[in-house]
Amino acid sequence: MTVTEGNGDGGGALKLARKDFQSDQEVRWCPGCGDYGILAAIQFMLPDTGIKPEDLVFVSGIGCAARLPYYMNTYGVHGIHGRAPAIATGVALARPDLHVWVIGGDGDMLSIGGNHLIHALRRNVNLNIMMLNNQIYGLTKGQYSPTSELGKVTKSTPFGSLDQPFNPVSVALGAEASFVARTHDMDRKHMIEVFRRANEHRGAALVEIYQNCNVFNDGAFDTILNKDARPNMLIELVHGETVRFGAEREFGLVMNSFGEATIVNVDDVGEERLVVHDERRADPSLAFALSRLAYRPTTPTPMGVFRAVDRPSYEGEMQRQLVEASGKSGGADLDALLRSAPTWSVA
C-alpha cells in the first residue's frame, strides 16, 4: 500500500490497490471456474472502501468457495462445514470494529449450515455473506445440492433428485434479512456494485452469486447468462424505477390479484401499471414476490438489490444492553451483573 501526498500537516491519505488484498498463495480452482471472477471482483472493490486489510476478516466453511480466504491478504478463518455464519457471528460480537465477510457455497450454507445462516440473518449480525451458488457440490465431486433442480441426476441421485430446491433469495427474505441481493459471475461491474452496496450496509447482508461450475454443472445458468439471452432474461432492479427489461425494454412487471409478480408487454398494460421497485420498503412482501418470479434460472430473472432496510444490528444492541446493565457509560460491572436479580443466597 502507498501513502499519497498530504495537506501540509505531515499526514497523508492511504491509497490501496488490488495487490494489497492479494495473498502470496497460488490461486487454485479448476480452470474456468467462476470463483476466479468473484475473487477478482472482491479484490477490485475493496480498495475503494478505504478499509485496511488488517481490519478485514474472511470466514468460510468447507467447499470450493471456502478456499477464498487463503487468497486474501486479510485475517481469515477456514472453519468447518456449514459453521461459517456462527463463527463469523462470534467474531463480529467480539470485535465490532472489524469488517467481517462470510464466504460459502449453496451446499455449505443451505444444507448443514442452513440453521446458522437463517439465525445470523434474522438477528441482523453485521456480516457480508456471499453465497456462491452453482447448484451442485463441487469439492466432493458432483453430488446434488439444496439448490439443484428437481430431477437432477448426479452421483448421489442416479434416478433424479426428489428434493424441492431452495430459492436462496426467498430464504433470506423469509428470515427478515435487512439486505438481500443477487448477482452473477459473468459481470464484474455488476458484482463490484452489489458487493459495494453490501459492504456499506450495516447489518446482515446476503448476496447470492450465480457461479458456474464448469466441471460438475457446466452451463447451469446459460439460459439466462448467454450474451444474446441477457437482454430478455435478466431483469435489473433499480430502486425508485419501474421494473422493465428486454432488448427494447418492451417487457415489464405488474402485480396480479394474488400479489404475484407477472411479466407483461408494456404496450398492453401501459407504463402506469408497472411495479416500481422499492428496496427500502419495510415490508418484505414486494421483494419476496420479485424473488419468486424466477422459479429456476431458466426464465427472466431479477438481478440486483431486492431489499435494503435499516434495522439495529445485533452487536450494536448487545453493546447497548451491556452499557444499560452497568448503569453507567464507563463500562459494565461484571460482578454486579452476575449478582443482580434473580439471584439468591443459600444459608
Residue by residue, DSSP assigns 90-147 as HHHHH-TTSEEEEEEEHHHHHTTTHHHHHHHHHHT-S-EEEEEE-SS-TTTTS---TT
Helix (H, G, I), strand (E, B) or coil at 58: strand
Domain with 47, as residue range(s), is: 15-221
As a whole number of angstroms, the distance between CA 239 and CA 258 comes to 23
Residues 190 and 303 sit within 8 Å (Cβ to Cβ)? yes
Domain for residue 116, yes or no?
Answer: yes
CATH code at 37?
A: 3.40.50.970
pLDDT of residue 3: 46
Domain for residue 337, yes or no?
Answer: no
Residues 104 and 131 sit within 8 Å (Cβ to Cβ)? yes
Domain for residue 323, yes or no?
Answer: no
Dig out the grid coordinates for 3 from the structure: 501513502
Domain for residue 289, yes or no?
Answer: no
Closest CA to 99 of 61, 129, 138: 129
| pLDDT tens digits, 221-249 | 999 999 999 999 999 999 999 999 999 99
As a whole number of angstroms, the distance between CA 281 and CA 160 comes to 39
Domain for residue 334, yes or no?
Answer: no
Question: What does pTM read for this prediction?
Answer: 0.91
Dig out the grid coordinates for 217 from the structure: 454443472
Residues 84 and 108 sit within 8 Å (Cβ to Cβ)? yes
As a whole number of angstroms, the distance between CA 128 and CA 8 comes to 37
Structurally, the chain folds into a number of domains equal to 1
Domain for residue 226, yes or no?
Answer: no
Which residues of the chain, if any, have pLDDT below 50? 3-11
Domain for residue 53, yes or no?
Answer: yes
Domain for residue 137, yes or no?
Answer: yes
Beta-carbon contacts of residue 252 (< 8 Å; ≥ 6 apart): 242, 243, 244, 245, 263, 264, 265, 266, 269, 271, 273, 274, 275
Q: How would you classify the pairing of strands 205-210 and 179-184?
A: parallel
